[in-house]
Chain A
Amino acid sequence: MTQAFRNADGGLIDRGTRINFTYDGQRYQGNAGDTLASALLANGVRLVGRSFKYHRPRGIVGSGAEEPNALIQLGEGALTEPNTRATQIELFEGLVANSQNAWPGVGFDIGGINNIVSKVIPAGFYYKTFMWPAKSWMLYEKFIRGAAGLGKAPTEPDPDIYEKRRVHCDVLVVGAGPAGLAAARAAGASGARIILADEQSGFGGSLLSSKATVDGKSGAQWAADVTQELAGQEEVRLLPRTTVTGYYDHNFLVAVERITDHLPFADRKGPRQRVWKIRAKQVILATGAIERPLVFAENDRPGVMLADAAKTYVNRFGARPGSRAVVFTNNDSAYRAAIDAADGGIHVVAIVDLRAKPEGTFVRQARDRGIEVIANSAITAVKGAKQVSEVDVMTLSDDGTSVSGGRRSLDCDLVMMSGGWNPTVHLASQSGAKTVWDDTLATFLPGEPKQAQRNVGGVAGQFGLAACLESGASAGAGAALDAGFDAQAGKTPAIEAGEGDGELNLRPIWTVPSDRKGAKRFHDFQNDVTAADIALAHRENYASVEHFKRYTTTGMGTDQGKTSNVNGLAILAELRNEPVPSVGHTTFRPFYTAVTVGALAGNDTGPQLLDPVRKTAMHTWHEAHGAHFEDVGAWKRPYCYLREGESVKQAVDRETLATRTSVAILDASTLGKIDIQGPDAAEFLDRIYTNMFSSLKVGSCRYGFMCKDDGMVFDDGVTARIGENRFLMSTTTGGAPNVLNWLEEWLQTEWTDLEVYCTSVTTQWAAIAIAGPNSRRLLSELTNVDLSNDAFPFMTWQDGDVAGIPSRIFRISFSGETGFEVQCPASYAMALWRALMTAGEKFNIMPYGTEAMHVLRAEKGFVIVGQDTDGTTTPHDLGMSWIVSKKKDDFLGKRGLARPDTLREDRKQLVGLITDDPNEVIPEGAHISPEPHAPPPVPMEGWVSSSYYSPNCGRSIALALIQRGHERMGESVAIPLEDKVVRAKIVSSVFFDEEGERLRG
């Protein structure tokens, strides 16, 4: 295909470098310097998509981030990216792009039937249909999802790499148009550390698409020279292709740099995108402004384009978006676009102006060139299905609310519209500055800065080139001064007379009247929202701006309403008979444009980096012996050790039986350990635990409960008294950091009179639990310590060598068997583990994992905090009132346990459950219901917290928290599951060795 709409010269593209690309399966050629949009226009492609709701044909409207229609599914396979804007995609060799939201293609589109039945899909359709009942959603979902889907997310993992960088600077300048360049130049000259970021590939902003001259050269050349000058300064960092997407507290801004997206795939090396986290002393926002559409009848036809976008395609890309243009405006800026279009080979048929008496520099120039100006008039209809072919023009009434007189038809294939300009206030608003309404410009401007921040150029409502250059230079110098550097604004570059005139002389007419009843007047192209939809929302009293937005979906597309928001608000304000600022606007949330998730993840991808893994000293042994790991906190713990041909359940059963039959060992290193020292350590623990620790003898240990001050169980563990003023506390694996924080909190904030020091020693000490009837015989083979019951009673500890390794031996048990726990320095732990395994061969020793540990403890009714408690469970609820001291004057939770709610009799209490069918293992988390067959919501009286098959009991067992459970022993309860109701009997929570003879034996 030839580039029939490409001018022979002019613009910033390289006509010598041809670039091949594919769009909707068709091959085209563009040139270096093109965007996908400019290349498509140069090739005469006008129809680029179908609209979201009605599937109306749509064309390119803008030339940058504001583009609502030309959404592209870019690339294929794992590299595909949805919802990219053709206007921002730099053309590269081999680019493959597809239009979205149209099947089988934009030209013939099945969803177009929505257009015919559009009366049944008014605003609020989604809102009303999908609120209630849920069935309606089911009914429509398939249809809506299929028809309304925007792009498609890739289904394969992202093969690209990304990175993040943090950086500090003195002055961050956002936007490298004339104002931004002038600011960076003035600030940079002071030697301050500058970052200049712009979303486009080249710096210059509006200068790249303008015919204005600066300092006697073209705007683009001046921008290139200033860029060159800045690049030579040591403290200046230039970030092209970088969108500043969010402005946060303390002058923290986030930017996304697209490093390789513009390159052919073969040339892409290194990270694809980089997220910059910037902390700036001073920020200058030179984010420019976005032209606003006019809301007139059938204004969504392909070929209706923003006037400035058309100018950009002609001036910067030498691409003609049409051959015969009608310009439709309410302000002066479109006249300059009309003149440039005419210079670029487009026949400008007429300029239709909503104003009664347009005047001004560019109006005069247009008239002088012989362009017809049809003042005090409106376009009342746009004809043509897949491309504009004709517009109707009628005379506007004085108040602008109706049209009259003869209808004049103008033959054209392009409509260049301008409804004024909306400063890009997104970042300014995110920084905390409240926007202010400007009546002259009829738009929102950034308000008084709340952070060290300045606004220059278009974002500040300055549309004249001279004003932009001046305010930029002055802000640049000011920011550098405030950052502590000596700076001057310098001389403002000379520009041609007339260029400084940035006046718009705007006449806002928010809804352009038409004689055609029912003609659609779109203000939000991407989400297919019309002025009539706003009226409907208003009639149905969705008058608050937040309700209006959600009801009509205005501004909720991927473009986030860059072209639609102000028009929508102003139309709503008219309906409410209020000024726009009292209607207000919705929040400008980050991100300014969509950010790919990979960029935010940066290098933190893959299982190793996303969530760092903690491994015990015996980890490699576990790996080599079939360990099937589970995550406990950040730790990898063996769940069980799989033997050849064994299922997980078989392994768990084998380990559970072995522990009660002979001897088994568990890597218990992950349990939290906190060394607590100080003259007040015993008093401190008395206040922290519900039970007494000051009475604990040196050489003994005690199981303790910690409650929050509301009386709810928070953590548990065995704490040993190492010396008069020293304790070794153990905590749950997952709770260890929280417990340490908790101890520090009370020591530092409330009990500052206590002298106690807490240190985490979790990773310093490895721990091995030895459990089973042969545990004493095994351990005695490796140590000289007298392990007899008299010399080493239950709940005591002793220091001693085990297998020649200095260790601390605890006589404790979480399995209910005779057991010991040996702690040694982590660096010796592997040797100790191997020594135990070797010495244990004659006892048929086995390692056991966390699941066997869980089954063993459940057989004994030992609770796991966080599994059998949920933050609303007291020690009394667990049937463990014995652990709550009655002697102590105070402890954390004591007063809380006496609150009326904590004393309620219908609280959920921990009980055992045995199912009627001994092989039925209830899923953990299952609810217990007094009326299992009641219609939803089914009433519930409790839930199953732990549930296993117990090989030692030869049946399933479960623990549950159930209302009044303790007084309901023997009662039958119902557990409704998805496909059946399981019945079980309430029993004691101790299923095995109720007397505890094995434990103490």
Chain B
Amino acid sequence: MAAQAHIARPDPHTASDKEWGEYLFMRKNPKGVHFERWFHANGCRKWFHMARHTVSHEILAIYGITEPAPKLDGGEGTS
């Protein structure tokens, strides 16, 4: 189970419809480094972060689910 990571849930009381829509539906599909959330569903049930290159499928970093993205060549680091 993988999906784009580091999407902050906006404050539901102040977020505009557009902001909420972007939070719900808009996802990146980069050719290159992608920061993703993964879930070990049939194992330890842990969510974790992975930086993965979508072309080479190289795994560039694994880090905790509450940790910010590391700085990597070819991809932006966000938190």
Interface residues, chain A, with chain B CB atoms under 8 Å away = 249-250, 432, 450, 709-710, 737, 741, 744-745, 748-750, 752, 890, 894-896, 899-900
Q: Which of A710, A745, A752, A894 contacts B66 (CB 8 A)?
A: A752
Q: What B residues does A450 contact at CB under 8 A? A: 56
Q: List 9 A-B contacts (CB under 8 A).
A: A432-B56, A709-B24, A710-B25, A737-B41, A741-B1, A744-B45, A748-B65, A750-B9, A895-B12
In the bound assembly, the distance between CA atoms of A113 and B12 in angstroms comes to 72
Q: Check A894/B57 contact, CB under 8 A, given A748-B47, A899-B21, A900-B17.
A: no
Q: What A residues does B55 contact at CB under 8 A? A: 432
Cross-chain contact A749 with B37 (CB below 8 angstroms)? yes
Q: What B residues does A900 contact at CB under 8 A? A: 17
Q: What B residues does A894 contact at CB under 8 A? A: 12
In the bound assembly, the distance between CA atoms of A896 and B20 in angstroms comes to 8
Q: Which residue of B lies closest to A890 (CB)?
A: B12
Cross-chain contact A249 with B20 (CB below 8 angstroms)? no
Q: What A residues does B17 contact at CB under 8 A? A: 899-900
Q: Check A744/B12 contact, CB under 8 A, given A250-B57, A432-B56, A899-B20.
A: no
Q: What B residues does A737 contact at CB under 8 A? A: 41
Cross-chain contact A895 with B41 (CB below 8 angstroms)? no
In the bound assembly, the distance between CA atoms of A533 and B76 in angstroms comes to 48
Q: Name the distance in Å between B55's Cβ and chain A's nearest Cβ.
A: 8
Q: Check A749/B47 contact, CB under 8 A, given A432-B56, A895-B12.
A: yes
Cross-chain contact A896 with B47 (CB below 8 angstroms)? no
Q: What B residues does A749 contact at CB under 8 A? A: 37, 47, 65-66
Q: Which of B12, B24, B25, B39 contacts A745 (CB 8 A)?
A: B39
In the bound assembly, the distance between CA atoms of A984 and B21 in angstroms comes to 37
The answer to whether B46 has its CB under 8 Å from any CB of chain A is: yes
In the bound assembly, the distance between CA atoms of A688 and B12 in angstroms comes to 15
Q: Check A741/B15 contact, CB under 8 A, given A250-B57, A750-B9, A896-B20.
A: no
Q: What B residues does A745 contact at CB under 8 A? A: 39, 47
Q: Which residue of B lies closest to A250 (CB)?
A: B57
In the bound assembly, the distance between CA atoms of A894 and B20 in angstroms comes to 11
Q: What 0/1 readout, one digit per residue, does chain B (30-59) give for beta carbons within 8 Å of chain A? A: 000000010101000111000000011100
Cross-chain contact A744 with B56 (CB below 8 angstroms)? no
In the bound assembly, the distance between CA atoms of A750 and B12 in angstroms comes to 14
A-B pairs with lowest CB-CB distance, top 7: A895-B12, A249-B57, A748-B47, A710-B24, A890-B12, A895-B20, A749-B65
Q: Name the distance in Å between A675's Cβ and chain B's nearest Cβ.
A: 14
In the bound assembly, the distance between CA atoms of A14 and B56 in angstroms comes to 48
Q: Check A741/B39 contact, CB under 8 A, given A249-B57, A899-B21.
A: yes
Chain A CB within 10 A, most for which of B25, B45, B55: B45
Interface residues, chain B, with chain A CB atoms under 8 Å away = 1, 9, 12-13, 15, 17, 20-21, 23-25, 37, 39, 41, 45-47, 55-57, 65-66
In the bound assembly, the distance between CA atoms of A737 and B45 in angstroms comes to 11
Q: What B residues does A741 contact at CB under 8 A? A: 1, 39, 41
In the bound assembly, the distance between CA atoms of A964 and B20 in angstroms comes to 25
Q: Check A748/B12 contact, CB under 8 A, given A741-B39, A899-B17.
A: no
In the bound assembly, the distance between CA atoms of A749 and B12 in angstroms comes to 17
Q: What A residues does B9 contact at CB under 8 A? A: 709, 750
Q: Which residue of B lies closest to A450 (CB)?
A: B56
Identify 5 new A-B residue pairs, CB closer than 8 A, beyond the known A737-B41, A744-B39, A745-B39.
A709-B24, A744-B45, A895-B12, A895-B15, A899-B21
Q: Name the distance in Å between B62's Cβ and chain A's nearest Cβ.
A: 14
In the bound assembly, the distance between CA atoms of A709 and B57 in angstroms comes to 30
Count: A-B pairs, CB below 8 Å? 41
Q: Which residue of A lies closest to B8 (CB)?
A: A750
Q: Name the distance in Å between B42's Cβ and chain A's nearest Cβ.
A: 9
Q: Name the distance in Å between B24's Cβ and chain A's nearest Cβ.
A: 5
In the bound assembly, the distance between CA atoms of A710 and B39 in angstroms comes to 21
Q: What A residues does B25 contact at CB under 8 A? A: 710
Q: Name the distance in Å between B71's Cβ and chain A's nearest Cβ.
A: 22
In the bound assembly, the distance between CA atoms of A749 and B65 in angstroms comes to 6
Q: What B residues does A899 contact at CB under 8 A? A: 17, 20-21
In the bound assembly, the distance between CA atoms of A896 and B25 in angstroms comes to 11
In the bound assembly, the distance between CA atoms of A250 and B53 in angstroms comes to 12
Q: Name the distance in Å between A752's Cβ and chain B's nearest Cβ.
A: 6
Cross-chain contact B57 with A896 (CB below 8 angstroms)? no
Q: What B residues does A710 contact at CB under 8 A? A: 24-25
Q: What A residues does B66 contact at CB under 8 A? A: 749, 752
Q: Name the distance in Å between B60's Cβ and chain A's nearest Cβ.
A: 13
Q: Name the distance in Å between A447's Cβ and chain B's nearest Cβ.
A: 13
Q: What A residues does B13 contact at CB under 8 A? A: 890
Q: What A residues does B12 contact at CB under 8 A? A: 890, 894-895
Q: Which residue of A lies closest to B57 (CB)?
A: A249
Q: What A residues does B39 contact at CB under 8 A? A: 741, 744-745
Q: Name the distance in Å between B5's Cβ and chain A's nearest Cβ.
A: 9
Q: Check A896/B24 contact, CB under 8 A, given A748-B46, A750-B9.
A: yes
Q: What B residues does A750 contact at CB under 8 A? A: 9
In the bound assembly, the distance between CA atoms of A750 and B45 in angstroms comes to 16
Q: Which residue of A lies closest to B25 (CB)?
A: A710
Chain B CB within 10 A, most for which of A450, A748, A900: A748
In the bound assembly, the distance between CA atoms of A900 and B15 in angstroms comes to 13
Q: Which residue of B lies closest to A752 (CB)?
A: B66
Q: Name the distance in Å between A530's Cβ and chain B's nearest Cβ.
A: 36
In the bound assembly, the distance between CA atoms of A749 and B36 in angstroms comes to 12
Q: Name the distance in Å between B35's Cβ and chain A's nearest Cβ.
A: 13
Q: Which residue of B lies closest to A711 (CB)?
A: B24
Q: Which residue of A lies closest to B49 (CB)?
A: A749
In the bound assembly, the distance between CA atoms of A345 and B1 in angstroms comes to 64
In the bound assembly, the distance between CA atoms of A93 and B44 in angstroms comes to 54
Q: Which residue of B lies closest to A760 (CB)?
A: B45
Q: What A residues does B46 contact at CB under 8 A? A: 748
Q: Which residue of B lies closest to A889 (CB)?
A: B13
Q: What B residues does A896 contact at CB under 8 A? A: 20, 24
Q: Which residue of B lies closest to A894 (CB)?
A: B12
In the bound assembly, the distance between CA atoms of A806 and B35 in angstroms comes to 50
Q: Name the distance in Å between A64's Cβ and chain B's nearest Cβ.
A: 31
In the bound assembly, the distance between CA atoms of A744 and B1 in angstroms comes to 13
Q: Which residue of B lies closest to A451 (CB)?
A: B56
In the bound assembly, the distance between CA atoms of A890 and B13 in angstroms comes to 9
Q: Name the distance in Å between B45's Cβ and chain A's nearest Cβ.
A: 6
In the bound assembly, the distance between CA atoms of A97 and B9 in angstroms comes to 65
In the bound assembly, the distance between CA atoms of A894 and B55 in angstroms comes to 38
Q: Name the distance in Å between A897's Cβ and chain B's nearest Cβ.
A: 10
Q: What B residues does A752 contact at CB under 8 A? A: 66
In the bound assembly, the distance between CA atoms of A450 and B57 in angstroms comes to 11
Q: What B residues does A895 contact at CB under 8 A? A: 12, 15, 20
Q: Name the distance in Å between B44's Cβ and chain A's nearest Cβ.
A: 11
In the bound assembly, the distance between CA atoms of A744 and B20 in angstroms comes to 22
In the bound assembly, the distance between CA atoms of A745 and B46 in angstroms comes to 9
Q: What A residues does B23 contact at CB under 8 A? A: 709
In the bound assembly, the distance between CA atoms of A748 and B66 in angstroms comes to 8
Chain B CB within 10 A, most for which of A249, A250, A749, A894: A749
In the bound assembly, the distance between CA atoms of A737 and B1 in angstroms comes to 13
Q: What A residues does B24 contact at CB under 8 A? A: 709-710, 896
Q: What B residues does A744 contact at CB under 8 A? A: 39, 45, 47
Q: What B residues does A890 contact at CB under 8 A? A: 12-13
In the bound assembly, the distance between CA atoms of A415 and B68 in angstroms comes to 67
Q: Which residue of A lies closest to B66 (CB)?
A: A752
Q: Which residue of B lies closest to A708 (CB)?
A: B24
Q: Which residue of B lies closest to A748 (CB)?
A: B47
Q: Name the distance in Å between B36's Cβ and chain A's nearest Cβ.
A: 12
Q: Name the distance in Å between B59's Cβ and chain A's nearest Cβ.
A: 8
Q: Name the distance in Å between B15's Cβ and chain A's nearest Cβ.
A: 7
Q: What A residues does B45 contact at CB under 8 A? A: 744
In the bound assembly, the distance between CA atoms of A249 and B52 in angstroms comes to 12
Q: What A residues does B37 contact at CB under 8 A? A: 749
In the bound assembly, the distance between CA atoms of A250 and B23 in angstroms comes to 33
In the bound assembly, the distance between CA atoms of A250 and B56 in angstroms comes to 9
In the bound assembly, the distance between CA atoms of A900 and B20 in angstroms comes to 11
In the bound assembly, the distance between CA atoms of A710 and B20 in angstroms comes to 9
